[in-house]
Structure 1
């Protein structure tokens, strides 16, 4: 029997159908080890990460399957988190022999292509994930408690991203509260459609030197703006017509997908990733 270990239990059925009876597909259900809940889990001067098992029952089940398997394939996701999961599985299960495989779509062609190209675990990706995890603890771990109390959500966590983000929000809020409004004026000219131009157009008046005092950012003279707006006869000195090309948007990354879903559909990141995971498991997206 060959054993394929993936991250998500939702992938098991489809992969089992693709691989057949000679294979056994099992899931780690995400990470099986993590830094301890108490303390940082890393201390100077070496800052070595200390891991604890988070899913001992899953590890026990996988260890039994691995003992009965002729070959073990680690097929966690092809990113740094997935690479770290494979490394943790190898280490926690004591695998002396394994094959690391990746694929970007759950189709028969992609999965079998991945199985035909096994490799070793990429320790550069593992170390990148460990650095990310360490920075989460070192940059913001102590912020989680005060932040949770401030927003009245006990399980609020802050790390390398959330801590500076909170700082930016606080600075922006201070700028909003200290903002002093200024009444300023501008002029926009609207031109009606004529014989050779099918649509009307408009032009904005941009005050330049001679109109703004030194250090002045806005035009503040309402009377002068009113006189300019009252003009009805103008000379067009030049007109230039250009063609422009717009490139298609880049494929979604995790962050841009979450941003687009939040802006367009008001989805929270967790819901977005759950839906994306289901689409991936169904073979609809890579």
Structure 2
């Protein structure tokens, strides 16, 4: 008899199968396969109990066959609320009796095998949290998705996040349309030094009239701009410590991808998922900057081997 290990992504199967070897069969749920129905609300007061339907019957049928031949089933879905919920739905849909829940934050041989040694049960608190979020999506956004799609003339979904975000966008757009522009003037002096050019901005606050926020006297600004002699009134020097940025979390990863590489959030997370599945990075859907001890050790080993010990911190 063999043990069945079920992960979410089919892209993880080959690498994890390689780590576990004989005695294990690795298969994928392909993400969510059980959800609220598409053509009805699927949840109603007073108890708001979700009505679930199978959305990928082929995957469920395939996993049922594999589970029948397995002595033990390990639910190795992602270590987050969604992953915990998928593990729960696997247990329910496959009617599992002999199962254990395992989770790993990096796809390395050490992490995968350690998760088997630390197998536990499904965290029903996380399942309830995900279910609450899913129900909120329906209650808050289900009725918005249709009109929003019609207005955008393309398929769009709304939920507990998108709906209030859409409201904020609309409110901001109304503020922009109601904005009355104000013409004002600034003066910037450019200086040349041995170290290069630098600029100083004129502080016009002492010259503003009562109730003014900006200097609107163009003639006065032009007269200031003709100045060519300056006196340094004060110099302040202080040491500045610069620290390296912390490891990426989901939000900072998306921000950096957008600002530095002009990659849209959805594409950035797709690429990160592929890197995670290839065991190149640790888990990216996270709000913690913690790094894998194993990964840090590998980096330090590489630095030592390449004569870059000075890059290794004392602690």
Same structural fold, with TM-score higher than 0.5 when normalized by the shorter chain: yes
Q: CA deviation at 1:261?
A: 2.5
Q: 1:171 to 1:58 in 2, by over 3 A?
A: same
The C-alpha deviation readout for 1:234-259, integer Å capped at 9, x for no partner, is: 33221101232233223223333333
- Shifted more, 78-87 versus 159-168: the winner is 159-168
- TM-score (ref. length: structure 1): 0.91
Q: Paired residue for 1:198?
A: 195
Q: Distance in 1 between matches of 2:249 and 2:140?
A: 24
Q: CA deviation at 1:75?
A: 0.2
Structure 1 gaps of 5+ residues are none
Q: Paired residue for 1:162?
A: 162
Please state whether the residue corresponding to 2:281 is helix, strand or coil: coil
Structure 2 gaps of 5+ residues are 283-315
Q: Paired residue for 1:130?
A: 131
Please state whether the residue corresponding to 1:278 is helix, strand or coil: helix
Q: Distance in 2 between matches of 1:230 and 1:259?
A: 42
Q: Paired residue for 2:140?
A: 139
The C-alpha deviation readout for 1:25-61, integer Å capped at 9, x for no partner, is: 1111111211111222211122222211112222222
Q: 1:223 to 1:268 in 2, by over 3 A?
A: closer
Of 241, 246, 271, 2:242 maps to 246
Q: CA deviation at 1:9?
A: 1.0
Q: Paired residue for 1:181?
A: 181
In angstroms, what is the RMSD of aligned CA positions? 1.8
The C-alpha deviation readout for 1:81-127, integer Å capped at 9, x for no partner, is: 11110011111111223111111222211111111111111122111
Q: CA deviation at 1:136?
A: 1.2
Q: Distance in 1 between matches of 2:158 and 2:211?
A: 41
Q: Paired residue for 1:111?
A: 112
Please state whether the residue corresponding to 1:139 is helix, strand or coil: helix
Q: Distance in 2 between matches of 1:248 and 1:140?
A: 40
Q: Distance in 1 between matches of 2:264 and 2:190?
A: 42
- Shifted more, 45-54 versus 250-259: the winner is 250-259
1:235 aligns with 2:236: no
Q: Paired residue for 2:210?
A: 214
Q: Distance in 1 between matches of 2:197 and 2:158?
A: 52
Q: Distance in 1 between matches of 2:129 and 2:31?
A: 18
Q: 1:152 to 1:17 in 2, by over 3 A?
A: same
Q: Distance in 2 between matches of 1:180 and 1:171?
A: 16
Please state whether the residue corresponding to 2:133 is helix, strand or coil: helix
Contact 2:10 2:27 in 1 (8 A): yes
Q: Paired residue for 1:64?
A: 65
Q: Distance in 1 between matches of 2:267 and 2:227?
A: 55
Q: Paired residue for 1:42?
A: 43
- Shifted more, 226-235 versus 36-45: the winner is 226-235
- Shifted more, 227-236 versus 183-192: the winner is 227-236
Please state whether the residue corresponding to 1:216 is helix, strand or coil: coil
Please state whether the residue corresponding to 2:196 is helix, strand or coil: coil
- 1:80-99 map, 5 Å: 80-99=81-100
Q: Paired residue for 1:275?
A: 271
